[in-house]
């Protein structure tokens, strides 16, 4: 009787209206992976990153890219007559009616097409543990509509890409890679039986899956034995799944740019990104025995600001592979010196031929004496600005900062994009000339890029959608002179010798830096087209062992620069109209006679020590001093001698607005309890320096 009713049921399905279902192309085109894709500037996939936490879906797979053994196992398990019926398996349907449609076990009547209909239409999914009779009729109607407009291959392809296999693994691609670390085309018979057995109950216990897979294998007369299925199931289904990324070249850029599903084109160059990563890993491996674990590389195109390589760490070999070494802030050592000398030249306080005194220097501070030392713990005496910067001498840099002032220099650094600097310039003291501020590689590379762009500053870009504003921060004439100095191999040889990793076959300007206790190692430099920055150190902050900018970061910088310019020359910048070259000689043969560049109006043919370049200042008492009177010394016998550095210029002492005498004579004062302001003034009454102190 039941089977005699089936033709009437079939007629009912044809004459009743059903909701319109999407076409195969609409379903495939609306499919969204849980992973977003990052492309390089040439369209190459360089990173995949999960951005949807609701489920794990990977690439949509064509039916021809799915293992035949899986197709056989799935169709036999879920719908034996799939290729014979038109959406409804009436034999299975009749058997289900005999068992009773109201029972909980109506799955046997659902064909693959009917299951697909329920996936496509949420209204057809069971509300509780089973579908209502009305839902079942609608599911059957929808299956017939699908069969009328879709091919069998399209139905099976969509089904295998949309069903959930286990946990959050949706689709055959995520299931195959997540459980067996292979593409669906490579699934063998055992793996296919296991996956097919998961469809009816994705989160079933391992033993239940094994039992079902073994029964399915017997049913299709599989050559796979049950023991093999058991071993694979226990190994792959007992623990958490892992999908090994197919490509992960730029994890930190991906996290920044990939916010939702889809594809994003970055400014990165996959080939250069890959090369920079390999060079970093190799160099870190060569100095691993010197307690070095971490490093980072950033490459920016000068003209556009496009970031073409962003290697935030060395990956699996790093001590903390999730830390972004490009954005992390650290002390940058001598790499700030070019901006210090640029400011001095821009303000016409120094020229590249001006002489500075590289001799021991003690600077009183409220917390004691600040005594800068050179890299090699030696002093060179009188040296030119060109030599002082190229050879990275510390004492001349501190003397230059004393000439400029701490506040103007910190203000300039902020203009260059160095964020998070302390608002109080005195927070750093004179040590900021030697890089005591915490700065990121990202900021530092872009500041050097500003030098490469004649003083024009703009934000670097990671995607082509970003817009940046350009502004002139540095004077192009002063920048040209600094670039010329940083490219001077001979001047650099005073400290580094003629043969070192900073010397290239083409034009480059470069500077190294090492922070206190060898905790951070830097090499930043630019060619005509690129600016490359390298940091080497430890994310933990541990000191390295006898590693400097030349031995740690510079070899990486050189390898990358050589690769970038393997077929692309770099030529020196053209001098701007505001500079001129002059032949200069140094008195007393302080340095060899040479041609040097000057901003027009600052030229000099003969160079001697210009004492005006030493900033006049009060050396005693230091600012904020508290002077305690000794009770054992009779009152009136106390004496304080004021001291100042005023080379060959006469200034005057003023204490609490009372003139005491000139600076060229020794001035003593009998202290009395109270608070005082001591000033050094010139003939016009201008305050050159002043300090506050207290007597108790």
Q: Is the same domain home to 128 and 242?
A: no
Residue 627 pLDDT > 70, yes or no? Answer: yes
Q: Which long-range contacts (CB under 8 A, 24 or more apart) does 626-631 make?
A: 626/693, 626/694, 626/695, 626/696, 627/671, 627/693, 627/694, 627/695, 627/696, 628/695, 628/696, 629/671, 629/673, 629/695, 629/696
Residue 686 phi/psi, 5-degree rounding, is: -75, 135
Lowest-confidence pick of 292-296, 552-556, 657-661: 657-661
Tokens of 385: 């600005």
Q: What is the pLDDT of residues 75-92, one digit of tens each?
A: 999 888 888 888 787 776
Is 45 among the domain residues? no
pLDDT at res. 693: 84
Lowest-confidence pick of 60-69, 207-216, 422-431: 422-431
pLDDT at res. 612: 44
Q: Is the same domain home to 454 and 349?
A: yes
* 196/613: higher pLDDT: 196
pLDDT at res. 436: 87
> At 624, is the pLDDT very low, low, confident or very high (cuts 50, 70, 90)?
confident
Determine how many CB atoms are found less than 10 A away from the CB of residue 215.
13
* 21/556: higher pLDDT: 556
Distances (CA, A) of 351 to 110, 395, 537, 597, 634: 87, 17, 35, 8, 53
End position of a domain, from candidates 607, 633, 665: 607
Q: What is the 3-state secondary structure (H, E, C) of 498-546?
A: CCCCCCCCCCCEEEEEECHHHCEEEEEEECCCEEEEEEEECCCCCCCCC
pLDDT at res. 696: 82
> At 181, is the pLDDT very low, low, confident or very high (cuts 50, 70, 90)?
very high
Highest averaged pLDDT of the listed ranges 390-404, 422-436, 476-490: 476-490
Q: Is the same domain home to 534 and 629?
A: no
Distance in angstroms (rounded) separating the CA atoms of residues 512 and 490: 16
Is 406 among the domain residues? yes
Mean pLDDT of 521-530: 96
Residue 108 pLDDT > 70, yes or no? Answer: no
- 506 within 8 A of 563, measured Cβ to Cβ: no
Q: What DSSP state is assigned to residue 343?
A: H
- 659 within 8 A of 640, measured Cβ to Cβ: no
Of 590, 579, 543, residue with least CA distance to 355: 590
Q: Is the same domain home to 186 and 129?
A: no
Q: What is the pLDDT of residues 242-278, one digit of tens each?
A: 888 889 999 999 999 998 778 999 999 999 999 999 9
* Triad 4, 9, 10: Cα angle to 5°: 105
Q: Is the same domain home to 119 and 154?
A: yes
> At 479, is the pLDDT very low, low, confident or very high (cuts 50, 70, 90)?
very high
Distances (CA, A) of 462 to 62, 79, 459: 34, 50, 10
> At 429, is the pLDDT very low, low, confident or very high (cuts 50, 70, 90)?
confident
pLDDT at res. 420: 86
Runs of H (alpha helix) within 391-428: 394-404, 406-415
Distance between terminal CA atoms of the chain? 116
Mean pLDDT of 39-51: 93
Helix (H) or strand (E) holding 618: strand 617-620
Tokens of 575: 């001098």
Lowest-confidence pick of 159-163, 283-287, 474-478, 609-613: 609-613
Distance in angstroms (rounded) separating the CA atoms of residues 512 and 392: 8
Q: Is the same domain home to 141 and 12?
A: yes
pLDDT at res. 308: 98
User: What domain count does the chain have?
Assistant: 4
The DSSP result for 430-479, as a single string, is: GGGGGT-SEEEHHHHHHHHHHHHTTTEE---BSBTT-----EE-S-HHHH
> At 367, is the pLDDT very low, low, confident or very high (cuts 50, 70, 90)?
low
Q: Is the same domain home to 83 and 227?
A: no
pLDDT at res. 199: 92
Mean pLDDT of 481-494: 88
Is 96 among the domain residues? yes
Highest averaged pLDDT of the listed ranges 57-61, 370-374, 447-451: 447-451
pLDDT at res. 664: 74
Distance in angstroms (rounded) separating the CA atoms of residues 535 and 294: 8
Q: Is the same domain home to 132 and 187?
A: no
Residue 582 pLDDT > 90, yes or no? Answer: yes
Rg, C-alpha atoms of the chain: 38
Q: Is the same domain home to 195 and 127?
A: no
Q: Is the same domain home to 335 and 435?
A: yes
> At 103, is the pLDDT very low, low, confident or very high (cuts 50, 70, 90)?
very low
Lowest-confidence pick of 32-36, 134-138, 255-259, 653-657: 134-138
Average pLDDT, the chain: 86
Mean pLDDT of 634-649: 74
Q: What is the pLDDT of residues 312-361, one digit of tens each?
A: 998 888 888 899 999 999 999 999 999 999 999 999 999 999 998 888 77
Distances (CA, A) of 442 to 46, 173, 202, 333: 21, 38, 47, 15
> At 11, is the pLDDT very low, low, confident or very high (cuts 50, 70, 90)?
very low
* 592/97: higher pLDDT: 592
pLDDT at res. 611: 44
Is 183 among the domain residues? yes
pLDDT at res. 16: 46
* 631/553: higher pLDDT: 553
Q: Is the same domain home to 442 and 398?
A: yes
Which structural domain, as residue segments, surrounds residue 221? 163-246
Residue 506 phi/psi, 5-degree rounding, is: -130, 175
Question: The whole model's pTM is what?
Answer: 0.79
Highest averaged pLDDT of the listed ranges 260-264, 448-452, 510-514: 448-452
Determine how many CB atoms are found less than 10 A away from the CB of residue 274.
18
- 86 within 8 A of 147, measured Cβ to Cβ: yes
Tokens of 562: 């050589």
Determine how many CB atoms are found less than 10 A away from the CB of residue 635.
9
End position of a domain, from candidates 158, 179, 214: 158
Residue 443 pLDDT > 70, yes or no? Answer: yes
Mean pLDDT of 529-549: 91
Distance in angstroms (rounded) separating the CA atoms of residues 493 and 264: 46
pLDDT at res. 92: 66
CATH code at 401?
Answer: 3.40.710.10
pLDDT at res. 13: 47
Is 576 among the domain residues? yes
Is 296 among the domain residues? no
Q: Percent of the chain having pLDDT more than 90? A: 51
Residue 639 pLDDT > 60, yes or no? Answer: yes
Q: Is the same domain home to 551 and 651?
A: no
End position of a domain, from candidates 590, 607, 624: 607
List, in order, residues 6 or more apart from 493 with CB less than 8 Å away: 391
Is 52 among the domain residues? no
Tokens of 302: 């000068």
Q: Which long-range contacts (CB under 8 A, 24 or more apart) does 375-382 make?
A: 375/334, 375/495, 375/514, 375/548, 376/495, 380/494, 381/357, 381/590, 382/355, 382/356, 382/357, 382/358, 382/590, 382/609
Residue 4 pLDDT > 70, yes or no? Answer: no
pLDDT at res. 688: 78
pLDDT at res. 647: 64
Distance in angstroms (rounded) separating the CA atoms of residues 167 and 57: 12
Distance in angstroms (rounded) separating the CA atoms of residues 576 and 410: 27
Residue 149 pLDDT > 80, yes or no? Answer: yes
Distance of CA 655 to the CA centre of its chain: 53
- 384 within 8 A of 595, measured Cβ to Cβ: no
Residue 212 pLDDT > 70, yes or no? Answer: yes
Distance in angstroms (rounded) separating the CA atoms of residues 136 and 110: 9
CATH code at 671?
Answer: 2.60.40.10
Lowest-confidence pick of 410-414, 453-457, 627-631: 627-631
């Amino acid at each position: 009787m039941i089977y005699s009713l089936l033709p009437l049921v079939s007629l009912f399905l044809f004459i009743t209206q059903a909701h319109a279902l999407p076409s195969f192309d609409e379903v495939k085109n609306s499919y969204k992976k849980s992973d977003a894709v990052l492309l390089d500037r040439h369209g190459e996939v360089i990173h995949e990153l999960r951005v949807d936490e609701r489920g794990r879906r990977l690439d949509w797979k064509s039916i021809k890219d799915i293992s035949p053994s899986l197709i056989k196992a799935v169709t036999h398990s879920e719908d034996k007559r799939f290729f014979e019926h038109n959406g409804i398996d009436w034999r299975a349907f009749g058997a289900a009616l005999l068992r009773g449609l109201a029972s909980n076990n109506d799955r046997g009547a659902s064909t693959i097409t009917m299951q697909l209909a329920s996936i496509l239409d949420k209204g057809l999914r069971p509300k509780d543990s089973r579908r209502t009779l009305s839902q079942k009729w609608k599911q059957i109607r929808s299956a017939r509509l699908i069969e009328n407009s879709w091919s069998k291959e399209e139905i099976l392809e969509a089904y295998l890409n949309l069903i959930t296999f286990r946990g959050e693994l949706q689709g055959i691609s995520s299931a195959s890679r997540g459980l067996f670390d292979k593409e669906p085309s490579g699934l063998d018979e055992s793996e296919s039986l296991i996956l097919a057995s998961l469809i009816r109950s994705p989160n079933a216990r391992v033993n239940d899956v094994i039992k079902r897979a073994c029964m399915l294998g017997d049913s299709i007369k599989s050559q796979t034995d049950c023991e093999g299925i058991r071993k694979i199931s226990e190994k792959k289904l007992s623990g958490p799944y892992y999908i090994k990324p197919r490509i992960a070249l730029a994890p930190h850029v991906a996290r920044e740019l990939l916010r939702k599903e889809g594809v994003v084109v970055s400014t990165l160059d996959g080939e250069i990104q890959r090369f920079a990563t390999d060079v970093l890993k190799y160099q870190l491996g060569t100095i691993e025995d010197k307690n070095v674990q971490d490093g980072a590389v950033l490459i920016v195109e000068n003209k556009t600001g496009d970031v073409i390589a962003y290697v935030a760490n060395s990956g699996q070999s790093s001590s903390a592979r999730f830390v972004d070494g490009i954005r992390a802030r650290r002390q940058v050592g001598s790499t700030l010196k070019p901006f210090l000398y640029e400011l001095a030249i821009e303000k016409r306080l120094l020229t590249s031929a001006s002489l500075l005194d590289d001799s021991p220097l003690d600077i009183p501070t409220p917390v004691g004496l600040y005594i800068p030392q050179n890299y090699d713990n030696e002093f060179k005496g009188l040296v030119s600005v060109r030599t002082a910067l190229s050879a990275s001498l510390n004492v001349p840099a501190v003397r230059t900062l004393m000439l400029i002032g701490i506040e103007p220099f910190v203000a300039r650094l902020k203009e260059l994009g160095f964020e998070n600097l302390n608002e109080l310039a005195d927070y750093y003291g004179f040590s900021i000339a030697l890089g005591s501020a915490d700065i990121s590689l990202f900021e530092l590379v872009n500041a050097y890029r500003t030098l490469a762009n004649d003083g024009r500053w703009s934000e670097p870009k990671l995607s082509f959608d970003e817009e940046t504003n350009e502004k002139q921060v540095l004077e192009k004439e002063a920048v040209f002179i600094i670039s010329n100095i940083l490219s001077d191999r001979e001047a650099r040889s005073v400290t580094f010798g003629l043969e070192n990793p900073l010397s290239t076959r083409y034009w480059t300007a470069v500077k190294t830096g090492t922070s206190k206790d060898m905790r951070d190692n830097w090499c930043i430099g630019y060619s005509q087209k690129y600016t490359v920055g390298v940091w080497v150190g430890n994310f933990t902050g541990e000191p390295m062992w006898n590693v400097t900018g030349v031995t740690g970061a510079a070899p990486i910088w050189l390898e990358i620069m050589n690769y970038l310019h393997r077929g692309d020359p770099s030529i020196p910048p053209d001098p701007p109209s505001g500079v001129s070259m002059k032949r200069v000689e140094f008195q007393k043969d302080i340095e060899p006679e040479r041609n040097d560049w000057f901003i027009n109006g600052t030229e000099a043919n003969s160079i001697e020590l210009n004492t005006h370049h030493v900033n006049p200042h009060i050396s005693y008492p230091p600012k904020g001093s508290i002077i305690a009177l000794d009770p054992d010394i009779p009152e009136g016998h106390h004496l304080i001698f004021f001291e100042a550095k005023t080379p060959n210029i006469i200034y005057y002492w003023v204490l609490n607005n009372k003139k005491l005498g000139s600076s060229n004579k020794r001035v003593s004062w009998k202290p009395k309890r109270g608070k005082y302001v001591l000033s050094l003034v010139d003939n016009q009454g201008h305050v050159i320096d002043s300090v506050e102190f207290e007597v108790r």
